[in-house]
Amino acid sequence: MENQNKKKIRLVATGGTIASQARSRVSTEGYQASVISVEDLIAELPELNDIVEMSAEQIFLKPSSAITDEDLFHLSARVNELLASDECDGIVITHGTDTMEETAFFLNLTVNSPKPVVITGAMRPAHVISTDGLLNLYNAVCCAASDASYGMGVVISMNDLILSARDAVKFSSFKTDAFQAPLYGVLGTVRNANVTYCYKPLMRHTTTSEFAGAQYGKMPRVDVLYMLQGIDDMLFKAACAAGCKGIVSAGSGNGGVIGAIGKAYKEEFEAGKDELPVLVRSTRVCTGGVSDAYRMGNPKIIPSHDLNPHKAAILLRFALAKTNDPAEIKRIFEQY
């Protein structure tokens, strides 16, 4: 009974560079994207069978820039279904790194189980010298099989580090240490199959998330506006005309909403427009977040705190799917 005490880990593969074939042994770009099936991927890592009872499925095979809302709800439903069974002790998801932090945060809100969910990928395609994919995958499986990962929420395991889905940011577009958690730091490490956590996320996630198990048919439209010196209000007006229910500003500094956009928003508020979108102030600065300043007597102006613009957009869409009450939306941004 060789497998008696081994954890049952399910690999759910979605594509990305980890599933991509290098053009040559020395070329890390211009590879054949998302072409390696999950069967071929795990066939290269027989060592996994020494540590866990491994099974795998291909939920989709695409670059992460092509992932849709529908894909995300499908993935989240599948993860919840797998975790509800005694046949699954933890899940590893392979994923493109470009939007990995978004999928991770989405799952952190919607997974309905304390069992480990670990996302990993690669910065270098398969079969290039010094590719990072297989070791990242091995480490992610160690992480998913560790009792210490229980109740940690969704985590990203890349480059020997373990990061909370909430805090992880893709910080380099080419280095293998692409993921960092600039404000609060990483949760732990995986070294030579040893999983060590030093910190535990305290904000709401997975089993304490009010969105756990959520399946929304159509999510409200939210647009992100990047603040630039001298920007006019054209994109703000276009977003309103497109029916957006919320705007996230990638603001300057402590979430400053620049000139013409701030003015246009204030005018619409003063004109008492009911359909005025909620404005969540985030920042284009990579760490530090924003404080609860600049509310200008308008309850619809809400700080993202330390969520970056793309994570703030995800949380705002979930919040707006549930409520239009700005006080409730503000409460949600304080708790996640």
Give the residues lining the site for ligand ASP (CB under 6 A).
16-17, 63-65, 96-98, 121, 123
Nearer to ligand ASP, 24 or 65 (CB): 65
C-beta of 30 vs 253, nearer to ligand ASP: 30
Q: Give how far the C-alpha of residue 305 lies from the chain's centroid of Cα atoms, to the nearest Å.
A: 17
Residue among 133 and 220 whose Cβ is closer to ligand ASP: 133
Taking the complex as a whole, how short is the minimal distance between the CB of residue 111 and ligand ASP, in angstroms? 21
Q: What string of DSSP letters covers 89-108?
A: SEEEEE--STTHHHHHHHHH
Q: What are the DSSP calls for 108-141, one per residue?
A: HHH---SS-EEEE--SS-BTSTT--HHHHHHHHH
Catalytic residue among 17, 94, 110, 131: 17
The two structure tokens encoding residue 161: 């580090």
Q: How far is the CB of 20 from ligand ASP (least distance, A)?
A: 7
Nearest CB to ligand ASP, comparing residues 13 and 222:
13
Pick 113 or 120: Cβ nearer ligand ASP: 120
Between vectors from CA 77 to CA 242 and to CA 43, what angle results, nearest 5°? 115
Instruction: Give the residue nearest to ligand ASP (CB).
Output: 96
Q: How far is the CB of 269 from ligand ASP (least distance, A)?
A: 38
- DSSP string of 238-271, one letter each residue: HHHHTT-SEEEEEEBTTTBPPHHHHHHHHHHHHT
Angle at 89 between CA 6 and CA 113, to 5 degrees: 165
17 has catalytic annotation? yes
In degrees to the nearest 10, what's the CA dihedral of 165, 170, 171, 173?
A: 170
* CA atoms within 13 Å, Cβ hemisphere of 145: 24
Beta carbon of residue 191, minimum distance to ligand ASP (angstroms, whole number)? 23
Structure tokens at 215: 């399946």
CB 37 to ligand ASP: min, Å: 15
Residues forming the active site: 17
